[in-house]
């Protein structure tokens, strides 16, 4: 049991593992990442998926914008065209990202019609060539995030073929969401819950490719879960639990990195107030675009409801000053 081990011992054992907050579209934008970083100085953060089309033809600077405080931070790309992937990986590295990750796990229709995301698992040679092209032009690591399979793909051998082929590019890290993506009939949200979690498949792939790294993702919600997965895999990636209950990230940081000088909630709120003011000054960012990510900060604490309601109503009023956060903070 975790309680039997001293925090420092646990931290020493797990320090080298990759612990991260998952890429989540519309959730892990730069404001959210800044907030998560205040809570946890060491975990890796991932951007939302940014498509190569958006970077090649849209406002590239806006899509890549992030704060210095966010590091270490990875840019997740969605795309399949080899030269676009290479160009976008280069843009990401030049913008300062510490890792480029390719999305091979997203099941949404929009992504399928662009032939990327999870359906890329059907064409490992295209992924291998894309990753090779990216690795040829950047020095930062290029990693993959995938599922264990799609639809009725054969159990295990499909993933084995995928990893084996993509690894020919030199990529050595595969973050695996331990469930299949069912591309027909399920919404993206259902695809995060309904296909069953099969961590054993990830264990098997790790045994087959001992020189590659396999952080695992999907359904991790407690410190005990995190510890158990860190024992088995090369890292963990946590999504919804962190977003909905950001203070969980503090427990992760304390337990697995042994940090003991972490900021308290009030200090974090004060720093967020300064951040809100700065973002407004620089980019006219509306306060609500930032405070929406803070709604779960008091999850499970008396007074959480007032905090949530305050954010949902007051943050939308033009006359509200960011200091309102200190007024509605449960004490
Ligand atoms: C709102 C939302 C948006 C997501 N967007 C992305 C995305 O842009 N790229 C990606 O690879 N996965 C995306 N995911 C999937 C997560 O990265 C993660 O794989 C999934 O939520 C399972 O992890 P969890 O059980 O810890 O939440 C998203 C998940 C959520 C909840």
The CATH number of the domain holding residue 276 is 1.20.120
One domain, residues 153 and 274: no
Question: In percent, how much of the chain has pLDDT > 90?
Answer: 84
**Better-predicted residue by pLDDT, 51 or 112:** 51
Residue 105, pLDDT > 80, answer yes
Q: What is the mean pLDDT of residues 157-172?
A: 98
> CB–CB of 323/273 below 8 Å?
yes
Tell whether 94 and 162 lie within a shared domain.
yes
Backbone angles phi, psi at 239, to 5 degrees: -110, -90
Q: Are residues 104 and 249 in the same domain?
A: yes
Q: Is the pLDDT of residue 318 over 70?
A: yes
Domain that holds residue 160: 2-257
- Which one of 180, 233, 239 would you pick to mutate in the ligand 1 pocket, going by the greatest count of ligand atoms within 8 A of its CB? 239
Structure tokens given for 95: 């913008």
Instruction: Look at strands 18-21 and 174-177 and give their pairing.
Output: unpaired
Provide the CATH number for the domain around residue 192: 3.20.20.70
pLDDT at 134 over 80: yes
- 107 close to ligand 1 (CB < 6 Angstrom): no
Average pLDDT, the chain: 93
Q: Show which of 238, 257, 276 is a domain's final residue.
A: 257
- Among the listed residues 90, 109, 192, the one whose alpha carbon sits nearest the alpha carbon of residue 147: 192
**Separation of alpha carbons 299 and 266, rounded Å:** 15
Strand 18-21 and strand 99-104: pairing? Answer: unpaired
Number of Cβ within a 10 Å radius of residue 166? 27
| pLDDT at residue 258, rounded to an integer | 84
**pLDDT surpassing 80 at residue 111:** no
Mean pLDDT across the stretch 34-59? 96
- Check if 106 is active-site: yes
pLDDT of residue 101: 97
Give me the pLDDT at residue 292, please: 98
Query: Is pLDDT above 70 for 3?
Result: no
Decide whether any atom of ligand 1 lies within 6 Å of the 23 Cβ: yes
Same domain, 32 and 127: yes
Looking at the chain, which runs of residues are DSSP E strands? 18-21, 44-51, 73-78, 99-104, 142-146, 174-177, 216-217, 235-238
| pTM of the predicted model over 0.85 | yes
DSSP category for residue 173: B
Please write the tens of the pLDDT for every residue from 76-98: 999 999 999 999 999 999 999 99
User: Which is more confidently placed, 262 or 155?
Assistant: 262
pLDDT attached to residue 284: 96
Ligand 1 pocket residue status of 238, Cβ below 6 Å: yes
Q: Please report which confidence band the pLDDT of residue 1 belongs to, taking 50, 70 and 90 as the band edges.
A: very low
- What is the count of structural domains for the chain? 2
């Amino acid at each position: 049991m975790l309680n039997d081990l001293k925090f420092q011992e646990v931290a020493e054992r797990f320090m080298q593992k990759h612990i991260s907050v998952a890429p989540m579209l519309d959730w892990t934008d730069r404001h959210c990442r800044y907030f998560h970083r205040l809570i946890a100085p060491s975990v890796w953060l991932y951007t939302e998926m940014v498509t190569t089309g958006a970077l090649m033809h849209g406002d590239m600077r806006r899509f890549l914008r992030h704060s210095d405080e966010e590091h270490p931070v990875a840019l997740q790309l969605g795309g399949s065209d080899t030269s676009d992937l290479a160009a976008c990986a280069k843009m990401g590295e030049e913008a300062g990202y510490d890792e480029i990750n390719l999305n091979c796990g997203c099941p949404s229709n929009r992504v399928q019609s662009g032939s990327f995301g999870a359906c890329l698992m059907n064409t490992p040679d295209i992924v291998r060539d894309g990753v090779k092209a990216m690795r040829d032009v950047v020095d930062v690591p290029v990693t993959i995030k995938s599922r264990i399979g799609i639809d009725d793909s054969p159990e295990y051998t499909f993933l084995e073929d995928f990893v084996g082929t993509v690894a020919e590019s030199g990529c050595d890290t595969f973050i695996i969401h331990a469930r299949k993506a069912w591309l027909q009939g399920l919404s993206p949200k259902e695809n995060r819950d309904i296909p069953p979690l099969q961590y054993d498949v990830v264990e098997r792939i790790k045994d087959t490719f001992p020189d590659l790294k396999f952080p695992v993702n999907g359904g991790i919600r407690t410190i005990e879960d995190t510890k158990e997965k860190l024992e088995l895999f090369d890292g963990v990636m946590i999504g919804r639990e962190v977003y909905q209950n950001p203070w969980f990230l503090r427990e992760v940081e304390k337990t697995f990195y042994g940090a003991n000088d972490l900021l308290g909630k009030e200090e974090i709120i004060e720093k967020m107030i300064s951040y809100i003011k700065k973002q407004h000054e620089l980019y006219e960012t509306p306060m609500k675009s930032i405070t929406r990510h803070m709604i779960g900060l008091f999850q499970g604490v008396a007074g959480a409801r007032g905090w949530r309601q305050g954010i949902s109503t007051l943050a939308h009023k033009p006359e509200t000053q960011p200091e309102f956060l200190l007024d509605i903070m449960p004490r």
